[in-house]
Every structure is written in structure tokens, then in C-alpha cells.
Structure 1
């Protein structure tokens, strides 16, 4: 599949209709693992243009709660669609069907231990203790073939599996970023259509955000090209720059479109 450059969106998409940017965080917003002052300025510029920013991250519930509170964004979906945190008022919403979270965590732990019988070097992620709906372990050192085998093992045990540039995730099979985002949209933005939303990501755990049937205006920052052969759903457009600079490229495009609308 040929990735269209982001600049082509000017002729393909009514950019002035966009009201919400739903974006991954690690590798998409971060630059060498950090938020830059320029990124925070981009958030402010989008808000001034009437465009809300919603994080859709694989990071933990603990991270999601803090990010939604401290960043100049509308809210955060954490754990790949597991929970939602509004910026104001500070409300936590469970987005997956769990009755007993403690029992669920125990089952996830048992599955992780089962995976360790095949992959004894798997290391639980540092933020796993702050999670509610999924279980994470480090992706570093795992080859593509090993990731594929881990996915097969999880599927055979009726679990879902995905991975990012940072972590591997054990989760419910129905749990993904798109499902969580659609739930939040239905609850908080029932009048929004696909034309109002752009989704952004960089890795396999963002794949559901690239599903054209649900989100026709999707953008991958340039480092998504590292995974082009592993994505069943691929972004409609790709930025020239990678990571946080790629997100800024998108933000500038949207803000310029808004200014052009005001002048006409």
C-alpha cells in the first residue's frame, strides 16, 4: 500500500471540519521519550483553533489519570481502550466489561506466567502495578517471530495481545483503542461524525485507529513506516517528520486550515 503524504490531505479532506485529534502518545507525541515545549505549544494552538486533543494511549491507568489532569488536553483513554479520564471534571470511566477487577488481574498474571514458560526472559513492565484492565511486559529484545508466537499463544488462550514501541500488552480480545474511542465519542460527542475526527499513531497497537471504515482520516507519524509490513490497517496519510515533530506537522496543517477558513 502506498502511503499518501500528509500535505495531500489539503485536497482530499475538509480539514476545517476537524474538531478532535485522537492521538497515541509514545513515539507519536514524544521525542526521544519526552514531551517538548514545542509539543505543548501545539496543544495550545489546537485548542485555540477549536480542536480538542484526546490521548489514546497504551499507558497505565495511573499515567492516564495524571496526563489528563496536567496536560492542556481534553482527556485521556488509557490501557489501549480500557479506561477513560476526563480532564475536567476528573472522572474515571471503565470502558471494558469487567465485574471483578481483582479477579481479572489475577487471570492476567496467570497468563503472563504461562507465557514465561515459553519465554522465561519476559520482564514485567515497571508501570504494570498501576494497571487495571491489562498486563504489560517489556518489548525490548523480542524479535518479530517471537512477537507473532506470543500473539498466537494469547489467542489460543482467548486473550488479546498487542505491542508498541515500549511494551507488550495482554488484554481482553475485544479491547482496543478504536473500541474505547468509539465508546467515548458516543458518550461525550454523539453529534460528531467521521469528518470531525483525525486519529494519529505510530505502531501496531494503534492499528485499530487506522481502520478506514471507522476513521477515514488517519495519520501516521513517519516512524510508522517501520511497521508497514505488520499493519493490516494502515494510516491514510503519513507525516514527513517522525514522532513529536510529525504530530506538530499535523497540528500546524489543521491550524493553518482554520485560519484560511476565517479569511474566506
Structure 2
């Protein structure tokens, strides 16, 4: 299947009629200029009403994500690019990346960041870094593509993973990424769904594993993903015409119309 097809072409294939769970990035995918809109909140509620589960899969910190998982009409949220999972209204996260000694882990991450600063003294720790458990972040703003490549290589040399989004750069445990975390969550919490019933959504390089068709055949990028298209080894199957949260709302409308046209009944969400 060709990737990066306009979402408008989905009407002829009706591929979204079997969707039962939406796994979506947050910043740049659900937000518009960094904020949730009333249209976005209505779209999330529309999915909930239709019995379609939503799991947010974000690079944001555990501290931020715990509140989102509790208050939004979603079934859960994965934080720190696959590091932790907040299920439903539970305030206690489930570790997807085991960390035996949290204090030592944070110290090692801080040391790795300090090493990066010796070559890139202008990089700044992200404001939400104090609320993190598994990874360490610094702001991506002001960094060139070549600098990001160098930072990634330096992290690899130190035995760390690295990724970045439109907001932050992440120093993270090797093997920790969104797809691996999401697959674990699907196995343990949503075994009733096959991969074909899941659509993944994103907009930037740290969403790339969600676009990997070996894991998820049905993926969507909101229009701003095109800014990174030539940097992504794995590209989404479809792209919306609108950017950011407006693009996500377009996808929700396609899902609802496809399900209605297919005559499928979706079980109501459990109370």
C-alpha cells in the first residue's frame, strides 16, 4: 500500500469501518497552537459516545499525563514515549519500562544531559522535566537538523535512546518508544482488539514507530506531518488535509461516517 495518501481517498475503501480504538499523539496532533479546542473535546466525546476507545500516546511527562488521563473522555494515556501508562481514572501509572532504582536512573539521565551540554551549551532543560520518570527532555526550538542528528549519535554512544518531536528532544532508555509501549498496553488491557481495529495518529518524528506498518497497518498523520516526511523512514498511510487538532477532528468524522455506512454496531463503553 502506498503511504501518505490523502484521507479523502478513504471513502472508496472504507478501511475505517472496523476501527474500535484510536491511539493518538497529543502535541501538534490533538492541539491547535498548543491548546485543546472545543471542537477537539467534542470529537473525543463523540468517539466515547460511539464506543470507540481513545488512548493518548505522548512524549509528555508523567506529571502532565496523569491529569489528562483522569479528566478527558479517554480510556487511558501513555506518557514519556512508551515509558508509563495511566489506565482510566487510576492516578497510579503502570511502568512499561521497568526502572529498579529511580534515583540512580534520574542521576544517570542528568549526567547524560550534562555531557550533551558540553558540546551544545545552548540546550535548555524542558519545563516539565521535573515531572518525568523514565526520560529526560530539553527544548527542540533553535536546533538544526544536523544538530539533532549529532545529539542522537552522542546519546547512542552513551547507551541511551533519543527521539524528538515538534516540542522536545528526549534522552530515553534504549528500546523505549511509542509503538512498543502501545503494543504492550493493547496486549494487557485491550486484548479484544486486533491491530486492524486500531488506528494510530501522529505528526512528528517521535510518532514514527506508530506509522510502522509492521505493527499498525492503519495510520494517519495530520497535515503538519508533511514537514517531516523526508525525515521519516516509516510514513503514515493517510494524511489529513487540515493540520493539528483540526486534522484529528477530520479523522473522527471519517471514522464515524465509515462505521455508519458499514452498518456496524459498536458496543457501548462500560460504565
1:47-98: CA deviation from partner (whole Å, max 9, x where unpaired): 1121111100000000110000111111110000000001234441000021
Tell me the secondary structure at the aligned position of residue 214 of structure 1: coil
Unaligned stretches of 5+ in structure 2? Answer: 266-271
Compared CA separation, residues 142 and 235, structure 1 to 2 (3 A):
same
Mark the runs of 5 or more structure 1 residues left unpaired by the alignment. Answer: none
SS in 2 for 1:38: helix
**1:250 match: secondary structure:** helix
Please give the alpha-carbon distance, in whole angstroms, between the structure 2 residues aligned to 1:7 and 1:228: 19
CA deviation profile, 1:82-139 (whole Å, cap 9, x unmatched): 0000123444100002111111111000000000000011100000000000000000
- The 2-side partners of 1:186 and 1:18 are apart by 17
- How far the C-alpha of 1:263 sits from its partner, in A, is 8.6
- Residues 162-187 of structure 1: CA deviation (Å, up to 9, x unaligned): 00010000001110000110110011
Which residue in 1 is equivalent to 2:105? 104
Q: Separation in 1 of the partners of 2:89 and 2:63? A: 17
Residue 259 of structure 1 deviates from its aligned partner by 2.1
State how far apart, in whole Å, the 2-side matches of 1:117 and 1:263 are.
58
Equivalent residue for 2:124? 123
Corresponding residue number in structure 2 for 1:57: 58
CA contact (8 A) 1:201 1:224 kept: yes
Q: How many residues align?
A: 264
Contact 1:220 1:235 in 2 (8 A): yes
Assess if the C-alpha contact under 8 Å between 1:22 and 1:53 holds in 2: yes
| Partner Cα distance (1:230, 1:14) in 2 | 27
Q: How has the CA–CA distance of structure 1 residues 126 and 250 changed in structure 2, closer, same or farther, with 3 Å as cutoff? A: same
Aligned to 1:232: 233
When normalised by structure 1's length, the TM-score is: 0.97
Moved more, 101-110 or 187-196: 187-196
Q: CA deviation at 1:261?
A: 3.0
Q: Determine the C-alpha separation between the residues in 2 that align with 1:138 and 1:2.
A: 30
Greater RCO between the two (CA within 8 Å, min separation 6)? 2
Alignment TM-score, normalising by the size of structure 2 = 0.94
Please give the root-mean-square deviation of Cα atoms over the aligned residues, in Å: 1.4
Matching residue of 1:180: 181
Contact 1:49 1:258 in 2 (8 A): no
Kept in 1: contact 2:3–2:238 (CA 8 A)? no
